[in-house]
Amino acid sequence: MTKMKVTGTFLCILLLLLQKSSGQQVFNDQKTLKSDNSRWMATLDNNKLISQITIPGTHDTMALHGGPLAECQAWSLEDQLKAGIRYFDLRVSGELFLQIKHGITYQFISFSEVQKRIVAFLSVNPTETVLVRVKPVWFFEKKVPELVKNKINKSFSWTGSSIPKIGDVRGKIVYVQKGNFDQGISLTETDKKGDYKVTDVEEKKKNIKNHLDQARQTCKTDCVILNYSSGTGIGSLRGILRGLTPKRVAEEMNPFLYKYLNEIAELQQLNCFGVIAMDFPGVDLIQTIINLNRSK
């Protein structure tokens, strides 16, 4: 083989590896995290309101078990925190143990244990703030809000309805209220009912772009705006036939989201999108969201 052919082959292999690496950084289904972004909020202006910060989050944060139909994340809670995730979506069920579930699938952890682990993280990373949404589901759904309220660690939590400045809540969990859970600050979703159901990923891409544009135009001081890039085809015949599991949707959505947010960043403007909740995010996608907070 000639030197030119060897060089050409090497470059092709290198390009493929780089492309694969790039893809893995925007979509992640590996359990191991190899980076650390534990204190990215340290550089934020103390006077900025929480509602004016663009925050990377996860949808169905603890959905690590149950197979392809139920799993939405690969990293543990600790690794999500370490990767820079600062919004957690908890689906809570039960009366005694306040179990975290995805649908009917138990995720082998309780609300109290999740809170304990977040507090442990904040204790060693006091520059950070973590937003937590509690969504009561399934059994004892009506009792869950009061039960959770009684379990909240008041020393490490913000449960008031007024939007705090980041400087007021460093080292704390900021609870967000929605539906029948009334602890914390208000939350407004850009998603419409049923938007999580995906039968056509291209249509989902259009939706998230519209939702992000809406969030940017209406970023408020009286509530936090929440956008979902996540979705699933499970629940519709067309989605099932296309194999649109949460992971399959994220494999296509995350690169699109990464490209779109980078295009916005190139406009040299300071943008506010609120929370962007994702399935299977990679470290480069998370970093892109974080970078949107930097003044140009």
For 106-147, the pLDDT digits (tens) are 999 999 999 999 999 999 999 999 999 999 998 889 999 999
Strand pairing of 185-189 and 129-136? unpaired
The encoded tokens of residue 261 equal: 């947010």
Structural domains of the chain, ranges and CATH numbers in brackets: 36-291 (3.20.20.190)
Separation of CA 68 from chain center: 19
How far is the C-alpha of 196 from the C-alpha of 46, rounded, in Å? 34
CB contact at 8 A, 288 and 265 = yes
Strands 55-58, 87-93: pairing is parallel
The structure's pTM equals: 0.90
162, 203 contact by CB (below 8 A): no
280 contacts 250 by C-beta, under 8 angstroms: yes
Which phi and psi angles does 48 have, rounded to 5°?
A: -80, 135
Q: What is the pLDDT of residue 268?
A: 65
pLDDT tens, N- to C-terminus, the chain (296 residues): 454 433 433 433 333 343 344 444 999 999 999 999 999 999 999 999 999 999 999 999 999 999 999 999 999 999 999 999 999 999 999 988 999 999 889 999 999 999 999 999 999 999 999 999 999 998 889 999 999 999 999 999 999 999 999 999 999 999 999 889 999 999 999 998 888 899 999 999 999 999 999 998 877 778 999 999 999 988 787 878 889 999 999 999 999 999 999 998 887 666 789 999 999 999 999 999 999 998 55
- Per residue in 264-283, pLDDT (tens digit) is 888 766 678 999 999 999 99
What is residue 292's predicted lDDT score, i.e. its pLDDT?
Answer: 93
- DSSP result, 131-183: EEEEEE-STTTTTHHHHHHHH--GGGEE--SSPPBGGGSTTEEEEEEBTTB-S
Tokens of 263: 């295009």
